[in-house]
Amino acid sequence: MSFKRIFQAVETHSGEPMRVVTGGVPNIPGNTVYEQMKWLEKNDDQVRLLMLREPRGYPPLCCNLIVPPKHPDAAAGYIIMEQVEYPVMSGGNTISVATVLLETGMIPMQEPVTEFQLEAPAGLIGIKAECHNGKVTKVTFKNVPAFAAYTDTVIDVPELGKVTVDVAWGGMFYVIADIRQFNWLKLVPEQGREITRVSSLILKAAQDQLPVEHPDYPGVGITISQLSGPTDNPEADWKNAVTVASGAVDFNNPATWTGALDRCPCGTGTCAKMATLYAKGKLKLNQPFRHEGLLGTVYTGHLVEEVQIGKYKGVIPTIGGQSWIYGYSTYVLDPADPFVNGYTVGDIWA
């Protein structure tokens, strides 16, 4: 039988499910991985829709395409795809991509440590992978610069009132709110539905009230929200719950006040949080920051250098964490399938 499209993928998770597509990737024009990402978004978005929507996907899922690197210093390139956007950088996805490349032999593994560079749409990402008995036990990556755009800023949020937030770039623009402002809410999986409701309302209000700009990515605004607070885990310093949008939020339609919770501690979200702490004088260079996700797993970050990003004082972060392979898959598009871009249904999608 002849199929319209065939993809081979490695299924991974770091708590969060993150698919890595290694075969069936189309030829994508561009002189950089960023240019390839923009071409794909404009000309072949079907790849993202097929991989992330039903029946092949579901709201929390992320996906990555392995592509040949364009930078001479990179061992491989990757394009990150999420439910409503193509992020230029993602921490958990970077950890998963590095794990797949090493554990499948696409990049030779050297024990006890393998070091190489990957080309993300955001640029070169330095990888240091700890390896034992053919297994990647930890990936630490050096991220693009992070910076705080707003700190301790009050916005008006329908249903919630006045909420104090930070906005920071860690590879995506995050709006971050301390959960202690909401005395009925805790950062536990059992309250996931309420976490996504509160987070989506804050996201929309921040998008409306807090304009942001990145010197390298004009037009990219706040696309993701994070609730943040103390933890009672002795192995962590702070806890977070990131809500990834699965559609646009409309204040007049409560059915859209939702999203998918990031099941991992969130790498770029950790970088954004560290940038706000640094801006407030609460985190120093080279001070470890152990960030716990909703499932109790922890990423450890460090700020290693101060830099200037346009008008912003920024910092270079590193993030360390682990990802696990849980399956290998082949996905096809039947020529008679009426849902050529997959589908969503309002029971679990915004």
- pLDDT per residue over 256-279, tens digit each? 999 999 999 999 999 999 999 999
Q: In the CATH hierarchy, which fold is given to the domain comprising 5-144+324-333?
A: Diaminopimelate Epimerase; Chain A, domain 1 (3.10.310)
Distance between CA atoms of residues 220 and 84, nearest Å? 13
Whether residue 20 contacts residue 333, with contact meaning beta carbons closer than 8 Å, is answered with no
Matching fold, domains 5-144+324-333 and 146-316: yes
Domain ranges of the chain: 5-144+324-333, 146-316
CA angle at 170 for the pair 17 and 231, rounded to the nearest 5°: 70
Omega cis (within 30) before 112: yes
pLDDT at residue 218, rounded to an integer: 87
Q: What are the pLDDT digits (tens) for 5-51?
A: 999 999 999 999 999 999 999 999 999 999 999 999 999 999 999 99
Q: What are the pLDDT digits (tens) for 194-215?
A: 999 999 999 999 999 999 989 9
pLDDT at position 339 over 80: yes
Distance between CA atoms of residues 10 and 76, nearest Å? 16
| Residue percentage of the chain with pLDDT more than 70 | 100
Beta bridge partners of 318: 142, 302
Whether residue 104 contacts residue 116, with contact meaning beta carbons closer than 8 Å, is answered with no
- Polymer length in residues for the chain: 350
Catalytic center residues: 90
Mean residue pLDDT across the chain: 97
> For residue 81, what pLDDT band results from cuts at 50, 70 and 90?
very high
Q: What are the pLDDT digits (tens) for 122-178?
A: 999 999 999 999 999 999 999 999 999 999 999 999 999 999 999 999 999 999 999
**What's the longest Cα–Cα distance across the chain?**
62
pLDDT at position 284 over 80: yes
- In eight-state DSSP terms, residue 343 is B
The class (CATH top level) of 146-316 is alpha beta
